[in-house]
Amino acid sequence: MTRPGAQVLRAQPWRPHRLLPVGLLALAAAIYQPAWHGGLLWDDPAHITKPELRSLEGLWRIWFDLGATQQYYPLLHSAFWLQWQLWGDAVLGYHLVTIALHAVCAFLVASLLARLQVPGAPLAALLFAVHPIHVESVAWITELKNTLSTTFFLLAALAYVRWDLSRRTADYALALALFVCALLTKTVTATLPAALLVLFWWQRGQVTWRDVRPLVPFFVLGVVAGLTTAWVERTLIGAEGAEFAFSPVERVLIAGRAFWFYLGTLAWPVDLTFIYPRWEVSEGVWWQYLYPAAALGLVVVLWAVRRRSRAPLAAALLYGGLLFPVLGFFNVFPFRYSFVADHFAYLPSIPVLALAAAAAAALATRVTAASRGLVRIALAVPVLALALLSWRQAHDYASAEALYRATLARNPSAWLAHNNLALILLRQGQHDDARRHFEEAVRLNPLVAEHHANLGRLLLQQGAIDEAIARLDAALAVDPDLPNVHSDKGVALLRAGRIDEALAQFDRALALAPQHPEAAINRAHALRARGVARMQAGERADGIADLTEAARLQPQNAEFRNDLGVALLVSGRVAEAVAEFEAALRVRPDFPEARANLARARAER
């Protein structure tokens, strides 16, 4: 038995044309073909399953070891785990899965809208499939979290809408299970119960306790998941500190501007980029208040016209609600680089595109039969234009270098892109270009220790020792607890002949990271250098002590064993010297200096 008001939903499931899902998949595959073989970007290595998690024990850790993965999204990382079992590090498989899920999401958009009797459902699916704002979510392997979580979100919404009509326990249980799957993939999907209430208000004109009560478990699960993610973002990922220190008023200013930014991008999707400029937010700048004021004004106007149609207000509430987790009221790590990102708009774009498609479909019904062909052509033009824009933007994701160059062409202030591009150029041996981008990253954001450290390493490679030390000091001034930087500074000091200072840096690196392999090796080299210097200065006991420790730390280093043998030999400890020369030759039989020293030691013995 259905309750009053439920009859506004379709009694029979929507049956799409059989070519729609096939067409959406073919369209998505064609649009994203330039990115099929796109390499790893930014934090992709943190999402593609790490070696220590690739076993069954690793799968268990994904679910029950908080911190084993970058974010606690166990279902997402289980999907990555399964993909690694299937195709390892080959990127094609990851891209094709995400593209296929994007097509599935587009089809589910049409299914949900048709179930809700929204006109233009197929057109909305097309717009969702081809819109350029989704390129980042589909072409970037990391954003499997978007396509997979949205799939679960839409399936849960469909199941709940069906339960609202049927009141079958199985439908409710399915909706709840799918919602949990969505939360375990990405917690922005916690907005589902609020979105369902908006849909019911749009359908019925009111929301009663009977509508709210079944959604209470959904709200509780969403709040728990949201609080967990917020804690992980702050404590494990690092979304806190001066870069996230905003007053409540400033957060409102960020939210108001982001609200209009995404609407503008959906309406005019040109010059999209991987990293947008980070706005300067200030309570003292009057015009920044216009953004939240205009958003509030829009809601007031739509509320005033709700008696004519509730659809625009419902779409605005859905858009704002689905966008709420990333509007700036909560810290999310990407805010360090920009307050907006295209992948934040993946789910919130659905109500906006649905409203546009419904308006176009309603307009099409008012024209004469003779004009409908022209209307279809007129509707096809923006769809094709959006598809072309997406295809062109997909080329940016053909490689990490292509992406960062495209980003800098549109946003020269993107210090992250400068830094990451410099690392790529460094691997290619283009040291001068790499140095230029590292220096620009330092200039744009001197408060990032990594920028100073990367530039310092490059200067060290180029032999600019004093400059390298100065740059590494700048990195440690920002963050004094970086073991890699202490180790690098120790290498620079060692090359400058400042051996005791170098040893202090290696000791600090090992105190911070006891298993740091480079610091341990470099410390042994520093001990060897100090031991040789002490022997030359006549400080034989101290020199032998340093060389003995160096050989103990690196027993497979033939040069270390030979140096210790020489020190022992000149100190009259011939038998011990013979043992060291023999050990050096066991490690490296073709070591002529050690062989000559061994002959000399045996002769003296």
Count CB neighbours of 374 within 10 A: 10
State residue 244's pLDDT score.
Answer: 85
The tally of CA atoms less than 13 A away on the side-chain side of residue 476 is 20
107 with 5: CB under 8 angstroms? no
Q: Please provide the DSSP assignment of 152-220 as one string.
A: HHHHHHHHHHHHHHH--HHHHHHHHHHHHHHHTT-GGGGGHHHHHHHHHHHHHS---HHHHGGGHHHHH
Tokens of 243: 């870069």
Count CB neighbours of 66 within 10 A: 14
352 with 118: CB under 8 angstroms? no
Query: At 4, which amino acid appears?
Result: P
184 closest CA partner among 223, 149, 219: 149
Tokens of 490: 């120790």
Residues 6+ apart with CB under 8 A from 423: 434, 454
Distance CA 459, CA 470 (A): 10
* CA 3 to chain CA centroid, nearest Å: 45
Each residue's pLDDT tens digit, 128-173: 999 999 999 999 999 999 999 999 999 999 999 999 999 999 999 9
Q: Which domains does the chain have, with CATH numbers?
A: 6-48+89-395 (no CATH), 416-468 (1.25.40.10), 481-554 (1.25.40.10), 568-605 (no CATH)
Each residue's pLDDT tens digit, 260-313: 999 999 999 999 999 999 999 999 999 999 999 999 999 999 999 999 999 999
**Positions in the chain whose pLDDT score sits under 50:** 1-12
Distance CA 581, CA 423 (A): 42
State residue 374's pLDDT score.
Answer: 76
CA distances from 420 to 36, 408, 437, 448 (A): 22, 11, 9, 13
Residues 6+ apart with CB under 8 A from 322: 188, 191, 195, 347, 348, 350, 351
**CA gyration radius for the chain?**
31
State residue 445's pLDDT score.
Answer: 94
* CA 402 to chain CA centroid, nearest Å: 18
Distance CA 326, CA 286 (A): 23
Mean pLDDT in the chain?
Answer: 91
State residue 106's pLDDT score.
Answer: 97
Does residue 173 come out as left (phi exceeding 0), alpha (psi in the -120 to 50 range) or beta?
alpha
How big, in percent rounded to 5, are the helix, strand and coil portions of the chain?
75, 0, 25
State residue 6's pLDDT score.
Answer: 42
Residues 6+ apart with CB under 8 A from 370: none
Query: At 407, which amino acid appears?
Result: T
Distance CA 153, CA 158 (A): 9
Tokens of 234: 């702050």
332 with 238: CB under 8 angstroms? no
Query: At 596, which amino acid appears?
Result: A
Collapsing DSSP states into helix, strand and coil, what is residue 341?
coil
128 with 350: CB under 8 angstroms? yes
The tally of CA atoms less than 13 A away on the side-chain side of residue 199 is 23
* CA 8 to chain CA centroid, nearest Å: 41
H/E run at residue 74: helix 74-87
The tally of CA atoms less than 13 A away on the side-chain side of residue 203 is 24
265 with 134: CB under 8 angstroms? no
Each residue's pLDDT tens digit, 580-599: 888 989 988 988 988 998 88
Tokens of 242: 């001066």
Tokens of 226: 């949201």
Query: At 53, which amino acid appears?
Result: L
Residues 6+ apart with CB under 8 A from 222: 183, 187, 189, 190, 191, 192, 193
359 with 267: CB under 8 angstroms? no
Which phi and psi angles does 571 have, rounded to 5°? -95, 5
Helix axes 248-267, 349-364, angle to 10 degrees: 40
CA distances from 321 to 198, 255, 288, 315, 349 (A): 10, 12, 21, 10, 11
Residues 6+ apart with CB under 8 A from 260: 291, 294, 295
Q: How far apart are the first and last CA of the chain?
A: 105
